[in-house]
Chains A and B, each alone.
Chain A
Amino acid sequence: MVAALSPPRILPSGDAAITVEFSRTIDEEANRRVLALDKLVASAGLAAVTETVPTYRSLLVHYDPLQIGFDALGEKLTELALQPLPEAKAARRWRIPVAYGGENGIDLEDVAKALNITPDEVVARHVGGDYKVAMIGFTPGWSYLSGLPSSMQMSRRQNPRLLTPPGTISIGGIQTGVQCLAGPSGWHLLGRTAVRTYQLGRDPTFLLEPGDAITFAAVDEKTFAEQDRAAEAGAFVAELIAS
């Protein structure tokens, strides 16, 4: 017997968007429902829906109020959200190379100290995780991954950094992330990858999709530098190890 799905909350985000909320917390099951609803909305061919934005726990649905009202679209989305979840299908899986520690991951030592393990053990645990892209947001390509081993979870930095390097791989709370562009971050920086999750002029411009599976692989600084040069020239993207 499959337990009946609970209806999501239909929340107004102004006069041209609806937030379909499945949970108030980070929750693997809620994220599965978000991604399933995202697919259903896309395949339902709702002309009034202009864009959807999946996040950990909710799906933001942008729509054209000239074509449909809040109540009618809310009912339609509730109906779709209550459809049985599809069988969990094997997702695309990417291998993302990471140069851990040193100047590429300036917080690795501190994280090791805080967790009372060696830096190598931090890397081993991070590489050992099985991750999923839960959402992409904030800035282009910033991919938030679920699946961080519970033995690595620690609260964010007291003082966020105003500038962290492009390609940063970091951990914060129960999440790990692949950051594309340089920018502010309050997470702990473990390493850097040459993979550009967002690169203008490349096809595809955006590499990762919500729902994709991720495996990290440790590489040395020299390999990172080579891959980074190649990636800058558009030649290198992450390795697709299952599709």
Chain B
Amino acid sequence: MSKLIVTSVSPGTSVQDVGRFGAQRYGLVPSGAVDRLAMAAANALLGNTLFAATIELGPLNSVFTAKGGAVRISLTGATRPADIAGTPVTVNTSVTLADGESLNLGVARAGTFGYLAIEGGVRGEPMFGSLAVNARAGLGSPYPRPLQAGDELLVAAASSANEKRIDLPAPAEGPIRVVLGPQDDEFGDAKELFLSSEWKISATSDRMGYRLEGPVIKHLHGHNIVSDGTVNGSIQVPGNGQPIVLMPDRGTSGGYPKIATVISTDLGRFGQTQPGRAFRFKAISMAEAQAEYRAFAELLQSLPGRVHDSNILMLDIKALLSANVAGTAVSAIDVETWQAPQPADAQD
């Protein structure tokens, strides 16, 4: 059977899917990918189910090597230099590693997490319906911890499918949108300060929480509340007034007041924001947030339809050329200046 060998690996690299649900009442957090759109796109490129387990790649260099046969993979998420034996690999495409070939991944240039999907998905033993790594709880498969050099993932033999690319909408820009609450009434004027200030993500952030650097957000009645439940994107404010945005490996409950919650649609974009880069928050209404939620669900479902053969332009030209040859009525096509009928298909 083919294997994908972890030859070297960035810190913060682990197997992730959408996570495990139903046991938050026992203190078990779902975990799962930080950027679900990128994860689903990686799966769509290979014809996998959208939420199959992928490798969530940390921002530094990694090398993955095929062994025992060809391995078909895809790469999405953070943009970064990548190559196979010097031939560049573009983000948002699939590619096949021949036996012994390595995918070399450089440092992320924009974004933090990349997603490497494997044709047929990562193989492992689901626990509570998920392969997602939660090292603290000893969960995750095939390894219940972040990946290490020398790890081996069993994979299906590569199919002979054409290589693909996926056309994703341009990444949204602008402020990270939040819904205020559940404890925004614990903050007086500080709420305005939170929304009007520029923030940066601290380098000490991880999959449990992103610490923010900016002005001190003061509580009205002190910072100890009685623990209550948390969600992905909860923005809690501890005693030092520097907010922490809770990420997929958060604690299921927390005892600091939560001023606002990042909307589901923006969780991936927020999670990809690099430490040190300035951004702002913007409060939107619940109705707007839930409309965005529906639009995001539609975007996810549209992913398989956004996948095209990487060489579709060439194929079309060949088809047109042969049509011309057969028809004799039209002049030859100038390949150099040929324009694709659909601009969306012509980005590469």
The answer on a CB contact under 8 Å between A53 and B252 is yes
What 1/0 flags go to A117-149 for Cβ under 8 Å of B?
Answer: 000000000000000000111111110100000
Residues of B within 8 A of A59 (CB): 229
Residues of B within 8 A of A53 (CB): 24-25, 229, 252-253
B263-313, CB < 8 A from A: 263-264, 286-287, 289-290, 292-294, 297
Residue from A15, A71, A139, A200 in contact with B263 in the complex, judged by beta carbons closer than 8 Å: A15
Any chain A CB within 8 A of the CB of B316? no
- In the assembled complex, the Cα of A14 lies from the Cα of B231 at a distance in Å of 8
A201 nearest in chain B by CB position: B127
- In the assembled complex, the Cα of A144 lies from the Cα of B225 at a distance in Å of 15
Any chain A CB within 8 A of the CB of B60? no
Any chain B CB within 8 A of the CB of A97? no
- In the assembled complex, the Cα of A53 lies from the Cα of B27 at a distance in Å of 9
Of the 9-residue stretches B81-89, B151-159, B176-184, which lies at the interface with chain A? Answer: B176-184
Any chain B CB within 8 A of the CB of A58? yes
For chain A, which range describes its interface: under 10, 10 to 19, 20 to 34, or 35 or more residues? 35 or more
Residues of A within 8 A of B28 (CB): 140, 198, 206
Q: What's the minimum C-beta distance from A195 to chain B, rounded to whole angstroms?
A: 14
The answer on a CB contact under 8 Å between B264 and A52 is no
- In the assembled complex, the Cα of A181 lies from the Cα of B28 at a distance in Å of 12
- In the assembled complex, the Cα of A25 lies from the Cα of B226 at a distance in Å of 6
Residues of A within 8 A of B287 (CB): 69
Any chain B CB within 8 A of the CB of A190? no
Of the 9-residue stretches B100-108, B136-144, B320-328, which lies at the interface with chain A? Answer: B136-144
A168-192, CB < 8 A from B: 181, 183
Residues of A within 8 A of B228 (CB): 19, 21, 55-58, 60
B21 nearest in chain A by CB position: A51
Secondary structure at chain B's binding surface: helix, strand, loop or mixed?
Answer: mixed
Any chain A CB within 8 A of the CB of B341? no
Q: What's the minimum C-beta distance from A177 to chain B, rounded to whole angstroms?
A: 11
Partner-B contacts on A (CB < 8 A)? 11-17, 19, 21, 24-26, 38, 50-60, 62, 65-66, 69-71, 135-142, 144, 181, 183, 198, 200, 205-206, 210
CB<8 Å pairs between A and B, sample of 9: A12-B179, A15-B290, A57-B228, A69-B286, A136-B27, A137-B251, A137-B253, A144-B227, A210-B25
Given contacts A50-B21, A70-B286, 19 further A-B contacts (CB under 8 A): A14-B179, A14-B261, A14-B263, A14-B289, A19-B181, A21-B182, A51-B21, A53-B253, A55-B229, A65-B290, A65-B294, A66-B293, A71-B286, A136-B25, A139-B137, A140-B27, A141-B26, A198-B26, A200-B138
